[in-house]
Amino acid sequence: MHELLSSLVRSCSLPRLLVSVLIVTLLALPAVAGQAAMKICYPDFWPFFHRQDNGHMTGFFHDIVTEALDRMDIQATWAAYPWPRCQHLVETGESDAMITFPSAKRLMYSKTHQDPFYEKKLTVFTYVRHPRLREIKAIKSIEDIRKLNLTVITYAGNGWNDKNIRTRGIKTYDTALLKNVWLMLANKRGDIVIEWPGGAWPDIRDTGTESAVLQTDVSLQAIPFHLMIGKMSPYADRLPKFNQVILDMKNDGSLDRILDKYIKRHQDDPR
């Protein structure tokens, strides 16, 4: 490139100002064409994002964001890390982006878009033929769980449960393994489980408790998920365009197509 520019300066009969403009334009082209791919870090967790043994990335968070970025002609690389490490990498600028819900702390070092591309609804599960099923189906809030004196089964380290359930004095039973939550519920070791259906049903099937576990229509909270890009990233100013692409994907059915590929919809079982 430098040899080409030197030759241009020596041989060109164009006015010096025009030559200068051409040089600046040529110097800018490689930077655009060779822009580094957006580095996205994630905690490996099916069905959000998961790298298979053959190296192929899958998961509906991955597919949604990848399709949106493809429509923007942005390439991305995905690297798995423990969740605290992911946040640190974005904060320090070592990675460009992560996928999570905006919090006051995260917004101190990153930016996001207006409309979430997915809302994770936390739903109440119970066991089949629970003697207080009618009352459970009528739950409208976490406070109702406390008033009904129901017990909750969860897994150790569930931050949402610690913050929203345990602090209210609601009796909670913990298990070290997430899958064991459904075995405990099936064996009536507690009254309810509060989980996201998309992640719950694969574990329910794996533990063979499908006939013993009942998903209700009670949803207690919807957690919005966004692409969050570090303020130091050169991609931070592309977030408004990303938001528009997400809206386009909602309107043209692309989001539903991706979600239907991963999430089996379960209706309330009247048993």
What is the DSSP track for 253-265?
A: THHHHHHHHH---
Contact, 153 vs 184, CB < 8 A?
A: yes
Find the Cα–Cα–Cα–Cα dihedral 238, 243, 244, 246, rounded to 10°: 120
119-222 and 38-118+226-262 share a CATH fold? yes
The CATH class, in words, for 119-222 is alpha beta
Taking the C-alpha atoms of residue 64 and residue 72, their distance in angstroms, rounded to an integer, is: 13
Q: Hey, what amino acid is at 238?
A: R
Alpha helices in 72-141 (DSSP H): 83-92, 133-137
The confidence band for 2, taking pLDDT boundaries of 50, 70 and 90, is: very low
**What one-character DSSP code corresponds to residue 224?**
E
Nearest to 99 by CA among 36, 142, 44: 44
pLDDT tens, 42-68? 988 888 999 999 999 999 999 999 999
Taking the C-alpha atoms of residue 122 and residue 118, their distance in angstroms, rounded to an integer, is: 13
pLDDT tens, 129-175? 999 999 999 999 999 999 999 999 998 878 788 889 999 999 999 99
CATH code of the domain made up of 38-118+226-262: 3.40.190.10
- Residue 154 pairs in a beta bridge with 174
* 103, pLDDT greater than 80: yes
Taking the C-alpha atoms of residue 129 and residue 214, their distance in angstroms, rounded to an integer, is: 9
> Which two structure tokens, joined as six digits, stand for 238?
């592309």
* Global confidence as pTM: 0.67
**Where in the chain are the domains?**
2-33, 38-118+226-262, 119-222
Contact, 60 vs 263, CB < 8 A?
A: yes
pLDDT tens, 66-78? 999 999 999 999 9
Percent of the chain residues past pLDDT 70, beyond the cut: 85
